[in-house]
Structure 1
Amino acid sequence: GQIAFSLPGLGSDFVGMNLHKWIGNPIGAGLLYIKKERIKEMNALFGDITAPDNNINKLAHFGTTPFAVIMTIPDSLAFHKLLGTGRISERLHYLKSTWINELSKDPNVEIVTPPGKDLSCAIASFRIKNKKTAEVADALLKDHGILTTGRTLGKEGCIRVTPSVFNSIDDIKKLVTAIRSLA
């Protein structure tokens, strides 16, 4: 994803995640991590009782298998590895910081996400004073072709912006110009 980590290093017994957001896999593939000692506590899926109680394969049966999506996982992981998590993280933070730094100077724009690399990477949120979240998100999409997401956060809500490694600095400048036109 966006930051370097290891699943065992998280110290979690269970982790589930999709692979489409930050690994770049097509929608429909995910990852399930279960600490080895905890596998035996999980019930087999769909009555699949052929795998031993302590074997993760008892959780692999989930209906019709989307083989085309699953076959893309190795290529997605290889491409992610080629880019490198460190470079991905730096790029995403740079893109986020660029638009945040520009818009933090605007008195009508409130940046909700704290600055700094230690609290967020790509994702950051803002709100425009006296504007409804849904209206801002709709205007960004309809008038400027920029996809953002309105989120509930307190009474006012906020707009989440999530650049990708594929976004250019020109895309970020377009975002800044669009938000300023709405502010």
Structure 2
Amino acid sequence: MEYNYIKSLHLIFVITWFAGLFYIVRLFVYHAEAKQKPQPEQDILIRQYQLMQYRLWYIITWPSAVLASIFAFWMLFFTAAGKVWLSQPWMHVKLGFVFLLYLYHLKCHAIFKSLQRNEVSHSSGFFRLWNEGATIILFAVVFLVILKSAINWIFGVVGIILFSVLLMLGYKFYKKIREKKQ
């Protein structure tokens, strides 16, 4: 019974962690676009986006990452099921993707810090593409956990990459239409 509570809490905080990662990058997009606005609109928008980013990052995203990790370690190292999983290849692959997620989170933190200083070094288009990184990791991890196969996750990841390419093509098409209207 204890295991199910720990697993539920882990899943809740993974969901809120990903929600924070998805939304923070969306705010990065808006921040980058605000830099192109005329004054005083630019200053007003940037101050608002910095406040929203700060609250999201430190009140939701970081605490969710820490709590998801604590409950994951608890499941892996203090439950019988976790000890079995650690010997299975699919879990090794999953932990590799979790490591990539931590790297993605840390890169988002570096971007967040620079945007808090209003140093925008990437375009809104870059941030739109950057947002797909978390999506690919999410798909890979979910397929691994559900299928419990170190091989079958490849089909899910290839599918999401193809889906991402279609999204990017759709974005470029939409961007061209928007530019023509302006």
Bigger CA radius of gyration:
1
* Alignment TM-score > 0.5, same fold: no
Q: TM-score of the superposition, structure 1-length normalised?
A: 0.26
Q: Which has the higher strand share?
A: 1
Question: If each structure's helix is expressed as a fraction of its own residues, which one has the higher value?
Answer: 2
Greater relative contact order structure (CA < 8 Å, 6+ sep): 2
TM-score normalized with structure 2 length: 0.27
